[in-house]
Structure formats: structure tokens, C-alpha cells
Amino acid sequence: MILFIILVFFIFIILLPIPIKVIAHYSNENYYLKLYRINLYSKTDGIIRKILNRKSNSSNKKKKEGKNNNPKTENKEKKKKSFSIKKTYTLLQTNKFKPSIKFSLLGSYSFDDAAFTATLYGLLSNLNFILLKIFSDFFKVKKFNYSLNPNFKNELNINLTINCIITFNIAQIIYILFLMRKKGGVPIVLGQSYGK
């Protein structure tokens, strides 16, 4: 009986959906990247900014101390990191157990030249279908909103906001990693199809 309860609990944990919410915003006045409500990167603060500042400070100290990297070890690391992008793409594209995604990109823009703004609108309109195709290859697209509107103000003004919720479970991760190990590739979790 205890083993049955443990097994049910284990299956529940593996199949439990885990949503990851990412919000990105860019405007002339401000920009930020957030995971849930955690500030990852912004104009003045953020976890990533602090880490990058620490790394830059430590690298500067190493340069002052005269420590040089061994080129042979760097070449070995590059060889280890090399992988087939095409193989990985195909693997993730044909994956049957894809994570789901809800994606929204809303914003407006204008440039100094109204003609350029109008031309860019035509190009960005096609980006709608390209993004949807890419997401459909890797995710089960539950929701997809895309709206970029031009403002003919004859001045540089960009305002973009991206809301993205990726939902997956541990079983999907294990399955993808298993495929990566079996067929060769890199453990990147992405996912397919769309609908509401």
C-alpha cells in the first residue's frame, strides 16, 4: 500500500505541469526582462546585470595579475561544445511530447522617416507567420498574439512588450534528454502545433 502511494506520488510529480512566465519590455524610457516577478535584467538593476558586473570585475583582476588562458584547452572545450544544429532542430521538431506555449507580442513603433516606418510594417507583418511557424515546430502553441502597429510621428519611438508562458513537466524533459542522448544533439527544451 505504501509503495502504491509512493508510486502515485512519483507519477504525479513527473506529470505535474510547471509553468514558466517570462516578461520582456523595451521602450525609449525603460527596458527589463523578468522571470515571474523576479527582475533578471533591467536598465539599472537585475540578477544578470549583477552577475555580469562581477564577472567583468574578476576578469579585469585576472588580466592585471597576468594570467593567460591555454589555447590548447580552449580548442578542446570548443570541440566538446560543437554539435549539429540541424540534427537538434529535427529532433525537437519531431518530438511528440512537446511543451506548450502562450505567446504575446504587442507594441508600436515609429522612426524619423515615415516611409521607412511604412516599409518596415510590411516586413514585420510577415514576421507574424515566421514566428508562429517556429513556435509550432517546437511547442504546442496554446495562444499566439502578435500586434505591431506603426505610429507615423516622424520620430524614433519604440514600445514592445512580450509575455510568454512555457508549460512543461519533468516527463517531457526526461523524454527529450533521452532522445538527445540516443540520437545525438544538445539538451535544449523546446516544443509544437497551435490552437486555442
Cell numbers for 171:
516527463
**pTM for this one?**
0.69
Mean pLDDT calculated for residue range 21-49? 89
8 A C-beta contact, residue 190 and residue 134: no
Flag whether pLDDT at 57 surpasses 50: yes
8 A C-beta contact, residue 1 and residue 9: no
Mean pLDDT calculated for residue range 132-161? 90
Flag whether pLDDT at 190 surpasses 60: no
Which pLDDT value is given to residue 10? 84
Chain position carrying cell 533578471: 40
Mean pLDDT calculated for residue range 188-195? 40
Flag whether pLDDT at 48 surpasses 70: yes
Which pLDDT value is given to residue 195? 44
Distance CA 137, CA 157 (A): 33
